[in-house]
């Protein structure tokens, strides 16, 4: 089984110009404000407060970089996780929102070290138009050496009705709960497989 065994915060940046040099394969974690991006980084790295999460939307204001090590049967693979500010956060001024949107889209379109976009969506709301739009946008800007995966958060909040709605919207949906720490092995395996283009087989 593949695990992330080491993780360390490196730095924050307000925009692409301030960002680290592009010397490592990166996984960019994208999604609506409050969907659980920072929590997801804590869950996959098995660290409580590595990325700052909060019940108040709009918590992550900067682009945060974390160096991580994937371990597949003692073989180490280094990568970088990027925690991004959420989109769709309503409680800021129009000007601030526009500036945000600009630095976020600049980062994701121009940062060539991004190899994988992880789009997080709320399992309770699999059809949200803004998520559909963002997925389409990512498909449009994605270069040949980049991949996109969707992972649904807050699985613990799903009832039977929500489960069927999600299955209908996306039969192959990968679900995680950052609260219950469920779905993490599958999510880690998916990140590893997409990033390093190989599976970490059991044995």
Ligand X SMILES: Nc1nc2c(ncn2[C@@H]2O[C@H](COP(=O)(O)OP(=O)(O)OP(=O)(O)O)[C@@H](O)[C@H]2O)c(=O)[nH]1
Q: What residues make contact with Mg ion under the rule CB under 5 A?
A: 37-38, 59-60
Residue in this structure with the two tokens 């996984």, named with its chain if needed:
27
Nearest CA among 183, 140, 139, 135 for reference residue 158:
183
Per rule CB under 6 A, count of chain residues that contact ligand X: 24
Q: How near is the Cβ of 203 to ligand X at its closest, in Å?
A: 31
Residues in region 165-184 near ligand X by CB under 6 A: 177-179
Binding-residue pattern over the window 113 to 152 for ligand X, x denoting contact by CB under 6 A:
----------------------------------------
Nearest CA among 31, 54, 33, 24 for reference residue 42:
54
8-state DSSP, 21: P
- 58 touches, from Mg ion, ligand X, none (C-beta below 5 to 8 Å by class): ligand X
Q: Which long-range contacts (CB under 8 A, 24 or more apart) does 158-163 make?
A: 158/123, 158/124, 162/123, 162/124
- According to the binding rule CB under 6 A, does residue 153 interact with ligand X? yes
Q: How near is the Cβ of 87 to Mg ion at its closest, in Å?
A: 11
**What CA–CA distance (Å, rounded) separates 17 from 130?**
27
Q: Which residues bind ligand X (CB under 6 A)?
A: 31, 33-39, 53-55, 57-60, 85-86, 153-154, 156-157, 177-179
């Amino acid at each position: 089984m593949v695990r992330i065994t080491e993780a360390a915060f490196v730095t924050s940046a307000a925009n692409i110009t301030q960002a680290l040099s592009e010397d490592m394969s990166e996984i960019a974690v994208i999604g609506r404000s409050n969907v659980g991006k920072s929590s997801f980084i804590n869950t996959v790295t098995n660290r409580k407060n590595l990325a700052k999460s909060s019940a108040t939307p709009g918590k992550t204001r900067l682009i945060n970089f974390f160096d991580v090590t994937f371990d597949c049967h003692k073989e180490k693979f280094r990568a970088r996780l990027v925690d991004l500010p959420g989109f769709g956060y309503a409680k800021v001024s129009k000007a601030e929102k526009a500036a945000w949107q600009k630095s976020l889209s600049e980062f994701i379109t121009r940062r060539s070290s991004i190899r994988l976009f992880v789009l997080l969506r709320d399992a309770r709301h699999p059809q949200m138009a803004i998520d559909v739009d963002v997925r389409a946008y990512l498909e449009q800007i994605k270069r040949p050496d980049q991949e996109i995966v969707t992972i649904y958060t807050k699985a613990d909040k799903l009832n039977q009705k929500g489960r069927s709605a999600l299955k209908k919207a996306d039969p192959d949906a990968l679900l995680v709960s950052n609260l219950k720490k469920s779905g993490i092995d599958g999510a880690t395996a998916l990140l590893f497989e997409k990033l390093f283009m190989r599976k970490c087989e059991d044995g």
